[in-house]
Structure 1
């Protein structure tokens, strides 16, 4: 009786991962919103263009397009890697020649690093937009806002460095435990997949 109850509970817990699937579908809807925003910004750039348009204005509009494209990339990474890591393998993509090379190889640690890398890239684009806008605005610009964005950018960079350091320490620890287990089999070495 106890084994049956335990087995049923474990099956229910394991099946609960499918509760994440609607969230990834929701992110696909978010990707559609990002696509609409991209084409709205592109239309603004193309329809507002004239030979008298300032280079700074075009630069800001192009940086906005790059920013939106990076956000789209970030969503795709989260959708694919999150679904494959936490819900199920994507069988539909296994034989596709268009399957991204990182798909199926990005574990939770790699997903964190890709996320923080994308956030840093988006933050840099926003700072570049601010820099270009400051040149045109002169003394009327809100420098306090820029200072906050610079602080936020360095927070993202520092977070990325700390994530990488934690992963490095965890991998080193895993190697040391595996080496100790090889030398003394009585020492239990955890599964290597836990760190990867």
Structure 2
């Protein structure tokens, strides 16, 4: 009975496979929105001032960072929780696959969140004449919380490895 229960629990990890497939599909949505945004920028570049161009480009960078974050979560999560990826040539092309443990993945995800948040904060500063000061202070406080949390996570990871 115990052996059957263990096999069922071990096999349950495959429930996550469709979740990772769904995240892969979300990359298509992200790419679509990226190119819609890029088309918008290119078609209206003559009407944009410098700040609008920079904010639009920062938006594209957000899409790229989120896409990279999704790829990291998909591959690392699948490798750590479901099964090894046996793709010919993957070792040479994506050397980090299979080497990122859950703790490292958490840190990379959080640092990506901090990076994305920083880009948004930069956008807020660039549009600061249209945003009330109390909201800017709230955004800065949130960013500071993200940064402090990321630093604390790094410290805790180093302490746990000693």
TM-score by length of 1: 0.78
Deviation at 1:98, TM superposition (A): 5.9
The structure whose Rg is larger is 1
CA distance in 1, matches of 2:11, 2:27: 26
CA distance in 1, matches of 2:21, 2:116: 23
Unaligned runs of 5+ in 2: none
Deviation at 1:61, TM superposition (A): 0.4
Residue aligning to 1:99: 93
Deviation at 1:97, TM superposition (A): 6.3
Q: Confirm or deny that 1:23 pairs with 2:19.
A: yes
Q: Secondary structure at the match of 1:89?
A: coil
Query: What is the aligned residue count?
Result: 162
Q: Deviations over 1:50-109 (max 9, x none)?
A: 1x53111100000000011101111111000000011101001x5336632211110011
Unaligned runs of 5+ in 1: 173-196
TM-score by length of 2: 0.93
Q: Confirm or deny that 1:165 pairs with 2:155.
A: yes
CA distance in 2, matches of 1:98, 1:49: 40
Residue aligning to 2:84: 89
Runs of 4+ in structure 1 off by over 4 angstroms are: none
Question: Which has more helix, going by share of residues?
Answer: 2
RMSD: 1.5
CA distance in 2, matches of 1:83, 1:153: 30
